[in-house]
Amino acid sequence: MSSSETAAFTDPVGLMLLHGGLSRITAVEYFLHPLNPFKSKNETTNEKLARNNFSIAMLIERGSDDCPGPMTLAQAEDKYRITLSREKGEQYDLLPPPPQARGAPPIDISTEPFRLFTVRHIYRSSPTTFTALGIYYVLDGVIYKSPSVRALLKATVSRTIQGLEDACDALSGCAWYEPGTGYAWNFEAGGKQNPEGVDGEEDEVDILNRMRMGRRKRMRRVLDNRRPGERTEEEEEGIRAKEKINAILLRLRKRPLAPVA
């Protein structure tokens, strides 16, 4: 993720200056902090309404022209949201709290403190049409930007690729190859390359015997699937030729390389 998506902002002094502390009444006010790097550089409709002394706190205390008198928090939020919807331009909308778990006692949002607030940055072109520009979280007074879908997919793919690379590195030490038997896997003792040898050395006779034994096992599996007399002389000759080639390869592998002039 980019640094802009992993950065955070908090102002302990600003939190102490909020009337009543950080709550649904003051969450948007705190987000509009002048030093908040996530705040839009353009003037938002929230700031225009604040200049006219129109806010959720004012509505709770005084009400509005069409509804005089104190309001509840729910009434003030609805009135503030309706007023914002009539304004065009960039604005910040405080989303409702997440639903409570089934069976949990109901929470009075007007009295119970919340640790998490979700603020949505939108550009409104009409009362019913808007474009979302970003999502932000305010957790215990710290503002975070929600990562984009691209950033989440990139991080998930990176973790998956890293896990596959680690798995391949671990398995590469468990594989060993013999010309007569092919590839084999040894998962014991950290994947020692030659599980039947000692310190990487193995007697040539033992190698030939193990190779012939593996060859006979594969030949028996092939012959078990055929009736007697179905194998031709050419096929038998080919098997014998392969055994001779494997024996030559084993001798060449044990012979030291000649120094280069």
Q: What is the 3-state secondary structure (H, E, C) of 148-177?
A: CHHHHHHHHHHHHHHHHHHHHHHHHCCEEE
Single pTM value for the model: 0.55
Instruction: List residues bridging with 176 in a β-sheet.
Output: 184
- Residue (of 97, 86, 92, 30) closest to 57 by Cα position: 30
Structure token pair of residue 109: 């949002």
Among the ranges given (83-87, 143-147, 204-208), the one the predictor scored with the smallest mean pLDDT: 204-208
Q: How confident is the model at residue 65 (pLDDT cuts 50, 70, 90)?
A: confident
Distance CA 30, CA 181 (A): 71
pLDDT digits (tens, 9 = 90+) for 102-129: 665 655 555 455 688 999 999 999 988 9
CB burial readout 11-35, b (16+ within 10 A) else e: beebbeebeeebbbbbbbbbbbbee
Distance CA 10, CA 174 (A): 51
Task: Burial-class residue 138 by CB neighbours within 10 Å (0-12, 13-18, 19+).
Answer: buried
Q: How confident is the model at residue 3 (pLDDT cuts 50, 70, 90)?
A: very low
Q: What is the H or E stretch that residue 89 is in? A: strand 89-94
How many Cβ atoms from other residues are within 10 Å of residue 216's Cβ? Answer: 12
Starting at the edge strand found earlier in the chain, the sheet holding 116-126 runs 8-9, 142-145, 129-139, 116-126, 89-94
Query: What number of CA atoms fall less than 13 Å from residue 27's CA on the CB side?
Result: 25
Higher pLDDT, residue 68 or 85: 85
CATH number of 3-156: 3.10.450.580
**Would you say how long the chain is, in residues?**
261
Q: Is the pLDDT of residue 144 over 50?
A: yes
Query: What number of CA atoms fall less than 13 Å from residue 131's CA on the CB side?
Result: 5
Among the ranges given (137-141, 163-167, 241-245), the one the predictor scored with the smallest mean pLDDT: 241-245
Higher pLDDT, residue 253 or 61: 61
The mean of the pLDDT values for the chain is 75
- The predicted pLDDT at position 253 comes to 55
DSSP codes, 131-147: EEEEEEEEETTEEEEPP
Query: Where do the CATH 3.10.450.580 domains begin and end in the chain?
Result: 3-156
What amino acid is encoded at 152 in this protein? L
Distance CA 261, CA 258 (A): 9
Distance CA 203, CA 213 (A): 15
Distance CA 187, CA 176 (A): 11
* Average pLDDT estimate for 77-81: 91
Instruction: Give the rounded percent of residues in the chain with a pLDDT score beyond 90.
Output: 24
What amino acid is encoded at 166 in this protein? D
Q: Is the pLDDT of residue 58 over 80?
A: yes
Q: Is the pLDDT of residue 101 over 60?
A: no
CB 22 within 8 A of CB 28: no
Q: Is the pLDDT of residue 88 over 90?
A: yes
